[in-house]
Structure 1
Amino acid sequence: MGRQADAPTSDQSGLVVQKLQQCQKIFDFYDPVAQLKSKEIKRAALNELIDHITTVKGAITELIYPEVIKMVSKNIFRVLPPSDNSEFDPEEDEPTLELVYELFLRFLESPDFQAAIGKKYIDQRFVLNLLDLFDSEDPRERDFLKTVLHRIYGKFLGLRAFIRKQINNMFLSFVFETDSFNGVGELLEILGSIINGFALPLKQEHKVFLVKVLLPLHKPRCLSLYHAQLAYCVVQFIEKDSTLTPQVFDALLKFWPRTCSAKEVMFLGEVEEILDIIEPEQFKKIIEPLFKQLAKCVSSPHFQVAERALYFWNNEYILSLIEENSSQVMPVMFPALYRISKEHWNQTIVALVYNVLKTFMEMNGKLFDELTANYKLERQKEKRKEKEREDLWKRLAAVELNPPKDRDPHILSKTPLTNFTTKRELPAGYGLIVPTNSVGDKSPNFSKRWISFYIDDKLVPL
């Protein structure tokens, strides 16, 4: 078939249609030696079509719309292999697939493209088939799909709500059903641009999308594959409407990882991104839950988690927010920081903690001194309680080894047992007694079974 450039202008549209029909034929590219000539002809035809649509003004006529969509559909819409296909090799994909995507993109981006005509052929069914392909294991194909879907979203206003709804459904299925989907990152990239274009004030459906769909995406184990794009979308929402900040933080705390340090570091990075753009009034609303979580993080035995949390104090804007609210922040953080400064195994963490404590002292010296004195006093009380608890257990062990021989109950301790029996609040003066074994029970658990409280001249079993 001749080249379009060699044909008269009046015949070029017909020639384009013929070439598009020619490219609808699918070949077996898994067999490298089969139909070599036909494959090469198809590749050359696709390259000529790309060049023609790109360089020739008025190349896209109404005749070629259905043929382009038909050719694209036959080439790219297919059943994807299982995701656990260990033999997957992107280099074995049909080489012309990339050319088909390239042609379709040039078609959509051409100044001659008319959405009014295109909407007859690019409909909801076509979009659904495109979305299914986002589960492809080939990152090159997913990148093409991302650009194609973005162009369709921009040009076809009537499909926008449908596209958003289908992406919502795919995310919900991924989070709550399959826990497996390759194209989450690419779809989030598209959503990042879409969210950026939302008009203010935000519609209720967009807020629901954030809370019910986006935020639960923090839950899956494979978060690292798409976390950067997800964090960008969340930050975009907060920039659009700062009143969403408390809801976002509630969700982050709800999904905060308990056993995966790598995910915890990612969460801390996202929190810092949010704090970089947070409004001071919204910051006040999240101080207590935020810094309680940070206190847990700086106390983590995993040094990367502790280090990432302590790096918050290197951020000038966050530091200014902390300084404005030091009377609320310092009491929450101080006990954890002081304990770590004495006990943490990693000297780098200890050095960072000393810097934070020094910053607190410079911010509010009077409060710092009060917190130091209170902390030391509480530690003394805890040590005293611990000693009393240990002494009491020693006396109980001694009684078990050498039980009394007379029938009279023996008071082991007249010390109030409120601190010992953490689940019972007892008035001062109650003593722990052990009656003598009158039935000759020699079982080792005898004294434990008969431990009782002497209340108002009555023996009450514990």
Structure 2
Amino acid sequence: LLELFDSEDPRERDFLKTVLHRIYGKFLGLRAFIRKQINNIFLRFVYETEHFNGVGELLEILGSIINGFALPLKSEHKQFLVKVLLPLHKVKCLTLYHAQLAYCVVQFLEKDATLTEPVVRGLLKFWPKTCSQKEVMFLGEIEEILDVIEPAQFAKIQDLLFRQIAKCVSSPHFQVAERALYMWNNEYILSLVEENNQVIMPIMFPALYRMSKEHWNQTIVTLVYNVLKTFMEMNSKLFDELTASYKAERQKEKKREKERDELWKRLGEIEISQKRQQAAK
């Protein structure tokens, strides 16, 4: 039955989804077996074939199954999240099923907040390096996770997470930078950032300040100014310190660049004079 989910016909997959859901609901003894077989299909999809038409439909069914998991979660279910659901993020065709996958991940975090750290670390591990479209999707999922995160869990992952967000803000691809900056429109995320501004502002500030001067897209520059304004309102003393420190660092960099250029210039002059001496001989 599960293999039929590989059908090209979305109508067939939709009917199969209803049938499997009914079977899972009625036959308690088959539940563990069905979950195991779905696991196997996903693992084969991730590590071998990278092709299976019904991943989205199976994830929809899993969303309902996860919703019904009893608390506390069994270790088997936690393993499924870390070993099966998170690796699904690295497949090239993530766009086909990302919404359903993100829903399943958030369902797990609503059940057990302590899973937040391994989930965020997993997402950062599989973070796309060259595909901007996937990067935008990852940022959307991070925002969904931050919407349900508890402050204690946020404190554990803020450093790693905001280093990645700072990289996204610096992205030359404007949609990636835009998606990262839109997080500051989320009031709950903003409240978490405000509570932890001493940690987050020093991480984000250099990228934001640089982009406010250098980014090619005017929309991004406007969004960056809005975020910098928010930071200034949160903690003006720290903001002034970071501005002064950044400018001092830039001056040092310019000085180093100038010294390096002068060194190359001198080396060039030495080489020319040596060639002249050899020619004179």
> Normalised by the size of structure 1, how large is the TM-score?
0.60
**Structure 1 residue 288 and structure 2 residue 159: aligned?**
yes
Distance 2:224 2:53 in 1: 40
Displacement of 1:400 in angstroms is 1.2
Displacement of 1:305 in angstroms is 0.6
Given the alignment, which residue of 266, 272, 277 partners 1:395?
Answer: 266
2:274 partner SS: coil
1:215 aligned partner, one-letter code: L
1:138 aligned partner, one-letter code: D
1:293 aligned partner, one-letter code: Q
**Structure 1 residue 362 and structure 2 residue 233: aligned?**
yes
Alpha carbons of 1:144 and 1:404: their partners in 2 closer, same or farther (altered >3 Å)? closer
Matches within 5 A, 1:13-92: none
Q: For each residue in 1:132-172, what CA deviation from the matched residue of structure 2 results, as whole angstroms up to 9, or x when unmatched? A: 10000000000000110010001001100000000000000
Q: For each residue in 1:244-275, what CA deviation from the matched residue of structure 2 results, as whole angstroms up to 9, or x when unmatched? A: 11100111011111111111100000000000
Displacement of 1:402 in angstroms is 1.3
**Counterpart in 2 of 1:383?**
254
1:180 partner SS: coil
Distance 1:331 1:310 in 2: 16
Distance 2:40 2:247 in 1: 54
**Counterpart in 2 of 1:172?**
43
**Counterpart in 2 of 1:253?**
124
Structure with the higher helix share, 1 or 2: 2
Matches within 5 A, 1:96-111: none
**Structure 1 residue 198 and structure 2 residue 69: aligned?**
yes
Distance 1:132 1:308 in 2: 37
Given the alignment, which residue of 343, 348, 351 partners 2:214?
Answer: 343
**Counterpart in 2 of 1:97?**
none
Distance 2:213 2:150 in 1: 35
**Counterpart in 1 of 2:5?**
134
Matches within 5 A, 1:384-423: 384-403=255-274
Distance 1:324 1:212 in 2: 33
Given the alignment, which residue of 176, 180, 185 partners 1:314?
Answer: 185
Distance 1:149 1:405 in 2: 85
Gaps of 5+ in 1: 1-129, 407-436, 443-462
Distance 1:405 1:267 in 2: 60
1:366 aligned partner, one-letter code: K
**Structure 1 residue 211 and structure 2 residue 82: aligned?**
yes
Distance 2:110 2:276 in 1: 77
Given the alignment, which residue of 274, 279, 290 partners 2:150?
Answer: 279
Displacement of 1:220 in angstroms is 0.6
Given the alignment, which residue of 213, 238, 245 partners 1:374?
Answer: 245
Distance 1:397 1:254 in 2: 45
**Structure 1 residue 269 and structure 2 residue 112: aligned?**
no
**Structure 1 residue 221 and structure 2 residue 71: aligned?**
no
1:209 aligned partner, one-letter code: F
2:101 aligned partner, one-letter code: L
**Counterpart in 1 of 2:28?**
157
Distance 2:230 2:276 in 1: 64
Root-mean-square deviation over aligned CA pairs: 1.4
2:64 aligned partner, one-letter code: S
2:50 aligned partner, one-letter code: D
Distance 1:278 1:183 in 2: 30
Displacement of 1:397 in angstroms is 1.1
Displacement of 1:236 in angstroms is 0.5
1:305 aligned partner, one-letter code: V
2:157 aligned partner, one-letter code: I
2:268 partner SS: helix
Displacement of 1:404 in angstroms is 8.4
**Counterpart in 1 of 2:201?**
330
User: Is the radius of gyration larger for structure 1 or structure 2?
Assistant: 1
Q: Which has the higher contact order (CA 8 A, sep 6+)?
A: 2
Gaps of 5+ in 2: none
**Counterpart in 2 of 1:304?**
175
1:149 partner SS: helix
